[in-house]
Every structure is written in C-alpha cells, then in structure tokens.
Structure 1
C-alpha cells in the first residue's frame, strides 16, 4: 500500500527511506465501499485523498438537480474539494466511490507541516498542483470548444481503461451529453 505513494513521490523527488517512513506517518489509511462519500456537499473537508485502489467521481449538483461531473480519480491520483480543503470552507462538491476504494488521507495541517520540514515535499505538491491546474484548464477548454464526438474520442484516447470501468450514464454526464447521445457515439466508434 505505501509502495504506491512512495512511487508517486519518486516520480518527482528523491526521498530517503527514513524520511518516507516519517512522511507516511502523517497519512491515515481508510477504506470506502462503493457509493460511500469521501466528501459530501456542505461538510467540512479534512483530507486530500490519495487513491491506492478503486475509482471515485467528483461532481456538483445544480439547483435543478442535474449532476455535473468534474473529474474522476483512480489508483495513484489525488482528489478532494480543494477550495474547502485549503480554506476551511464547507464542500461545494461531492466525491463518491464508483467502486470499493482504499485511500491514504492527508490533512492540510500535516501537508503544511511536511512542506515546512521537507523542501522536496513542498516541491512535490507544487508540481502536482501545476499538473492538476493544467488538466482542469484543458477540461474546461474541451467543454467550451469541442463537440460531443471530439470530447468522447479525447476521453477514450486519454483514459482508455477508465472508459471501460464507468457506467455509461456517468460517462455521459462527464462528457456533458445525454445517455442517448453517448450510445450513438459508442456505436459510431
């Protein structure tokens, strides 16, 4: 379990085994069942979650009850409601499990502590934040400038294994199309 996190760090920084064990001590391990929430709208957000296994979705529900999926997270990905996490606000998004999921949880206090104690950990989180910012920008641009077919094809290209794991209505919501439109795109493929 901790090897996944260690590999994640080592993709970006060099870390001594003793330092990694100390860092790991600032995380807590949790298991969630399918359909359980990591984060629920209106609640305080205590943790950033590093997925060891499983799949989760982050979504916003508008005033009409329509679900807008922001993103997914799989093994080796991080996810939370970042505004609520960083600024001690109540969550505006939900994050729930599409599969049974195991996570390592890092509180903002522990993240700040580790970043103060280890320059390379601060560097790691800055690089992860940069990548997340670019991914979110690309997602917004895709929604604004691509048609449904282009968004679907891009998703298949970037996340082929995820496309097989997601229920069709969830994938349709992520792409901003109806289930019927997704079925037509699926047949065209």
Structure 2
C-alpha cells in the first residue's frame, strides 16, 4: 500500500525526487478521499480547512448570488488543485460551494498539514506556489476575457482551453462558467455547428 501511495505522490509532484522518509511524510499529510457524483464537499458560509488535489473525477466551485443564480468559478479535473481559495487563504467563511460532477478521488491537504509539510519538505512549497501562480494567472485571464470578449468568443476559448471538459459537463455548468444563459449557449452552438 505504501509503495502504491508513494508512486501516486511521485506522480502528483512530478519533477521532485523524494527520499522514502519524505514520501512517508507525504503519506501522513495527504488524506485520500472518494466522493460520488452529486456530492457537496463544502457549501457557502462553511469553514474551509482543506485544499484538494484531484487524482481523478471532475469537480466545480460555484457561487450562488442573492437571486439564486449559480456562477461557476472553476472546474477541476485530474492533476488540478481546487478549493475556495478566498476562504482557505484568508480564514473567512466559504464564498463558494464545491460540487462533485463525476465520481472523484482526491487528496486533501489541511492548513495544519500544509504548514508541517512545508517545514519537513521545503522544496514542495515552491512546487505548490508555481501551481497556484499558474491558477492565479488563468483566473486573471478569464476575468479579462469575461470583460472584453463576446459570449461566442468566450465559448470558443473555453473549447480551445478545456476541450476535455465539455463532454463531462451539463450545459448549465458551461453557461454559468461563461456568464451566459443556457439559451444563449444553445444559440451559439447552433450558429457554430449549423450555420
């Protein structure tokens, strides 16, 4: 079992060479969890103490506005990290809900375990920072596109960037991610595929 976990952690932290002792530390701080499709891992206004590495499956974070409309903030698939980063990094209540869209296996890292992990294996901190920097850059790009591009252009960019996701997602998930209605999404698809 330890060898299997060790191989998984080598996969997660691809590019870093670990000693067996370091892999044992990683095995103690990362908790493997399984979630079924439709599960809610956390909801808005809850305390957040974990971020998740997605080993397999598909998840999404979304915010529900005062009128009950969902706004998808992030999708997550294999080899992505996901949580409500606002709550996780600022010790506030969750702004978002984390939903499982496809049966998932994740590895959870609590704040306390993260601090211990970084102190025991410092090279991992720079690895995770690089991942978070990439995510931050992607979020900023998405905001700029959302403010400056048409719905059709945003959909085409989504297809180009996330072609592997489209078949896994319901139309309303994609529409809420793009900031449009499902009717608008249907109209865009019709224009593209049935000119």
TM-score range, shorter chain: over 0.9
1:112 and 2:111 correspond:
no
Q: Distance in 2 between matches of 1:170 and 1:126?
A: 28
Matching residue within 169, 173, 178 for 2:172: 169
Matches of 1:73 and 1:5 in 2, distance apart? 18
Higher deviation after alignment, 14-23 or 39-48: 14-23
Deviation at 1:4, TM superposition (A): 4.3
8 A Cα contact 2:9 2:26, kept in partner: no
Q: How do 1:97-176 and structure 2 match up within 5 A?
A: 97-176=100-179
TM-score (norm 2): 0.90
Q: Distance in 2 between matches of 1:129 and 1:15?
A: 21
Q: CA deviation at 1:158?
A: 0.8
CA deviation vs aligned residue, 1:77-122 (integer Å, no higher than 9, x gap): 1111112222332111101011111111000111111112222011
Structure 2 residues not aligned, in runs of 5+: none
Q: Which residue of 1 aligns with 2:23?
A: 20
Q: Deviations over 1:8-59 (max 9, x none)?
A: 3124x33334312321221111111111112211111121111111111101
4+ runs of 1 displaced by more than 6 Å?
A: none
What secondary structure does 1:90 align onto?
A: coil
Matched, 1:93 2:96: yes
TM-score under structure 1 normalisation? 0.93
Quote the Cα distance in structure 2 between the aligned partners of 1:5 and 1:152. Answer: 34
- Aligned-partner Cα distance in 1 for 2:33–2:43: 16
Conserved 8 A contact 1:39-1:80: no
Per-residue CA deviations over 1:145-185 (Å, capped at 9, x if unaligned) read 11111111111111111011111111111111111111122
Give the superposed CA RMSD: 1.5
Count of residue pairs brought into register by the alignment: 188
